[in-house]
Amino acid sequence: MNGIPMEHGLMLAAILFALGLAGLMLRRSMLFILMSLEIMLNAAGLAFIVGSTAWNQPDGQAMFLLVITLAAAEASVGLALMIQLYQRFHSLKLDNVSRMRG
Amino acid sequence: MMTAATILSFLLPLAGTVMLAFSGERLGPRGSTFIGVGSVGLAALATAWALLAYSGASQGVTLWTWVAVGDFQPTMGLTVDRLSLLMMAVITGVGFLIHLFAAWYMAGEAGITRFYAWMNLFVFSMLTLVLADNLLLLFLGWEGVGLCSYGLIGYYYQHEANNWAAFKAFIVTRIGDVFLALGMFLIFVELGTLDIGQVLEQAPRVWAEGSTTANIAALLILGGALGKSAQVPLHTWLPDAMAGPTPVSALIHAATMVTAGVYLIARLNGLFLLAPDVLLLVGVIGAVSLLLAAFAALAQTDIKRVLAYSTMSQIGYMFVALGVGAFDAAIFHLTTHAFFKALLFLSAGSVIISCHHEQEMDKLGGLWRKLPVAYAGFIVGGAALVALPLISAGFFSKDEILWQAMAADQTGLLIAGLLGAVLTGLYTVRLILGTFHGEPGSDHARHPEPGRNPFTHHLPLIVLAVLSTFLGAWLYPGLGELFPAAPGETSDTSHTLLQVLATGAVIAGLALAGWLFVMRRQWLHSIAGKGAGARCWALLNRAWGFDALFKWGLVRPWQWLVRGLRFDFINRGMNLLALIARAGNAGLVRTQNGRVRTYACVMVLGVTVILISLVLTSGGGR
């Protein structure tokens, strides 16, 4: 592990985060948006791991466990919402759900 | 004994009102009529009892203290003296006869309970007014009669015009009432009391004769009297008040309420004697009113409007009497006027119901054979109105007024009174001829249904007709000792001369009327039909255009002012704030488009902006 410099790890995390963010903003299907969210969460988790390894602190590892737990909860809620969405609208396009406009 | 009878008479109409008002129509028309007429009848009996038990001395009775704030302690107190007993007798006696007649007149109308509740409340308020021993309680009665007048003018509330007439009566008299209230305040501030006896006692000590404050106080009270008694310039409400049922016109707008102003000035005579200029103004206003109204009465086509203008004219006579300091003569004429004007109004009511609510003179006519009782009422009442010598009640009271004006050397007032007598003859003859003689103008007048009920229809008319003859004048007790000496206490040969002159004026009026309305009828019609004659007719028909004067002089400018205020610039500024808020709202609403992806993008944008600014500021700090 020590062979990889911290900058590379953080760069990878930033690229993954940017990819996830781009997917979140550009994708229309809710399935892909959820996947983008997972990528962003994992990017953040990777940044924690990289940081904890570089400074030899266990806090980052513990934080990553919390992030995984959060991601699991988020996935279950998100998937439940997605099933509801499909049952109501027979489609996964998120732009259809815009009835709560001002 | 007497005070008990007075209190009974005072409270009985109130009891009637309370019973009727809380019965909620459960009593039915017969029950309501019974209670409404009965309570005033019992009050009349109690008044008769009080009159019999009256010892001659003035008595006061305090029911309870109304308000107690430091030295200001007005009471619910009644004063019984000759003047208030006389007024009580007129109010309950004539009031009872009118209530009785109303049982015939109002039969079959909707809302009998409401009618009698208002009528009883009116009698109670009027009794409060004349019995009150302090100005505040008097003011309560004063406002009470105004309220009842409003409620009864608008009795047929389903016609819009009636509601406007009621509004007009209420608002115009209210203008006078404001003056009266201000006068009361001034008296309280200056004299420290509102008790009428104390006011009259203290006023000469505090105010010098003719002092400015005394003049202002008298002027303010005069303003109140003008509004209530329908004298120029606050008179325009009275003709419109004829929208109410005819018994209401007889009771409120002829016999009692409109004479309250005369009563007020007579009651506060000491105050007016301290302000001789204002007292003279009372007489001048009376003379102007009596002439204006008498001319206007000549050109009316509605029989009730003729009677309304004649009421104004007769109250003008009373004001003339007050103006020359002959308070006794004013109250005398008030009494006889209550008899004969109530008779005239009830006879008119009889004609109106018999002819199915037809009251235009053009559509009546030829009724004298078919409606003999009403015709007799009109003849006797009309005789008293024109003051037919020796046999009518009106002659004695009007003669007294003219004699006092002459004795006070007020030649102008005397001439106005004599000219008024001629005009009275003219319009009375025109009224009787137009209603009862000539050809019937409509089917209603061709087939009238005369009133047949001897108790509710004939009896009030007959009793009032008897009271309108010289017998009514004999009943008047004379109040001489209550008032300061009138200018002409002792009569001499010039009084006899004046009587001959007044008789001449009456006969001249009647003869002129006979000549104009019988012999030269066609000629009169052609003159009034075109050119200057038609304009003159229109001017008199509208009573000298006072309504238009007030409309363009007061109401319209007020409306313009209000309209200007509604669009003023400060308000515009306020509206600008509201417009900005609304525009901001519209802009922000657009951002809430309900798309989750847009929200996400905007959030990213926001975070980016915050990050960039953080980087830039921390970079600047380094």
What percent of chain B lies above the pLDDT cut of 70? 99
Q: How far is CA B83 from CA B79, B227, B286, B463, B480, in A?
A: 10, 22, 22, 23, 10
Put simply, the answer to whether A102 touches B595 (Cβ < 8 Å) is: no
Which residues of chain A lie closer than 8 angstroms to B594, CB-CB?
97-102
pLDDT at A88 over 80: yes
Which residues of chain B lie closer than 8 angstroms to A98, CB-CB?
593-595
φ, ψ of residue B592 in degrees (nearest 5) = -90, 70
**Which of B597, B598, B605 to mutate to probe the A interface, most A CBs <10 Å?**
B597
Which residues of chain B lie closer than 8 angstroms to A24, CB-CB?
597, 600
- Closest CB to A100: pick one of B594, B597, B600: B594
Mean pLDDT (chain B, rounded) = 89
Within 20-59 of A, beta carbons closer than 8 Å to B belong to 21, 24-25, 28, 33
Taking the C-alpha atoms of residue B482 and residue B158, their distance in angstroms, rounded to an integer, is 47
A14 touches chain B (CB under 8 A): no
pLDDT in tens, B215-230: 999 999 999 999 999 9
Residue in chain A closest to B590 (alpha carbons) equals: A102
Q: Could you write out the DSSP letters of every residue in B477-511?
A: ---GGGSPPPTT-S--HHHHHHHHHHHHHHHHHHH
Q: What pLDDT, on the 0 to 100 scale, is given for residue A92?
A: 86
Put simply, the answer to whether A101 touches B597 (Cβ < 8 Å) is: no
Q: What pLDDT, on the 0 to 100 scale, is given for residue A102?
A: 65
pLDDT in tens, B323-332: 998 899 999 9
Q: Which two tokens stand for residue B331?
A: 């109250």
Which residues of chain B lie closer than 8 angstroms to A100, CB-CB?
592, 594
A58-73: average pLDDT: 92
- Closest CB to B597: pick one of A95, A100, A101: A95
Helix (H/G/I), strand (E/B), else coil: B132:
strand
Cβ contacts from A onto B, under 8 A: 32
**Which of A93, A98, A99 to mutate to probe the B interface, most B CBs <10 Å?**
A98
pLDDT band, very low/low/confident/very high, at B543 (cuts 50, 70, 90): confident
Which residues of chain B lie closer than 8 angstroms to A33, CB-CB?
597
Q: Which two tokens stand for residue A45?
A: 């988790």
Q: How far is CA B418 from CA B68, B287, B405, B415, in A?
A: 51, 10, 11, 5
B540-569: average pLDDT: 86
Put simply, the answer to whether A25 touches B600 (Cβ < 8 Å) is: yes
Q: What pLDDT, on the 0 to 100 scale, is given for residue B264?
A: 94
pLDDT in tens, B231-269: 988 889 999 999 999 999 999 988 899 999 999 999 999
Kindly report the nearest CA distance between residue A25 and chain B, in angstroms: 6
pLDDT band, very low/low/confident/very high, at B486 (cuts 50, 70, 90): confident
B347-367: average pLDDT: 89
pLDDT at B1 over 80: no
Q: What pLDDT, on the 0 to 100 scale, is given for residue B123?
A: 95
Q: What is the DSSP secondary structure assignment for residue B529, as one 8-state letter?
A: H
Q: What pLDDT, on the 0 to 100 scale, is given for residue B477?
A: 82
Which residues of chain A lie closer than 8 angstroms to B604, CB-CB?
21, 25
Kindly report the nearest CA distance between residue A75 and chain B, in angstroms: 17
Global confidence as pTM:
0.79
**Which of B589, B591, B596, B608 to mutate to probe the A interface, most A CBs <10 Å?**
B596
ipTM (interface pTM)? 0.82
Kindly report the nearest CA distance between residue A8 and chain B, in angstroms: 22
Q: Assign 3-class secondary structure to B436-484.
A: HCCCCCCHHHHCCCCCCCHHHHHHHHHHHHHHCEHHHHHHCCCCHHHCC
pLDDT band, very low/low/confident/very high, at A2 (cuts 50, 70, 90): low
- Closest CB to A94: pick one of B588, B589, B596: B596
Q: Which two tokens stand for residue B120?
A: 């009883």
Q: What pLDDT, on the 0 to 100 scale, is given for residue B448?
A: 87
Which residues of chain B lie closer than 8 angstroms to A99, CB-CB?
594
pLDDT in tens, B568-587: 777 788 888 999 999 999 98
pLDDT at B339 over 60: yes
Which residues of chain A lie closer than 8 angstroms to B595, CB-CB?
94-95, 98
Largest CA distance in chain B: 123
In the block, residue with structure tokens 């007497």: B2
A54-64: average pLDDT: 89
Kindly report the nearest CA distance between residue A87 and chain B, in angstroms: 19
Q: How far is CA B370 from CA B102, B381, B428, B435, in A?
A: 21, 19, 20, 12
B391-405: average pLDDT: 90
Taking the C-alpha atoms of residue B9 and residue B492, their distance in angstroms, rounded to an integer, is 41
In the block, residue with structure tokens 């009470």: B144
Helix (H/G/I), strand (E/B), else coil: B369:
coil
pLDDT band, very low/low/confident/very high, at B620 (cuts 50, 70, 90): low
pLDDT in tens, B406-457: 888 888 999 999 999 999 999 999 999 989 988 888 888 888 888 888 888 9
Question: Which are the contacts of A34, defined by CB distance < 8 A and separation ≥ 6?
Answer: A75, A78, A79, A82
pLDDT band, very low/low/confident/very high, at B534 (cuts 50, 70, 90): confident
Single-letter code of the amino acid located at B157:
Y
pLDDT at B310 over 90: yes
Put simply, the answer to whether B600 touches A101 (Cβ < 8 Å) is: no
Asked whether B80 and B60 are in contact (CB, 8 A), the reply is: yes
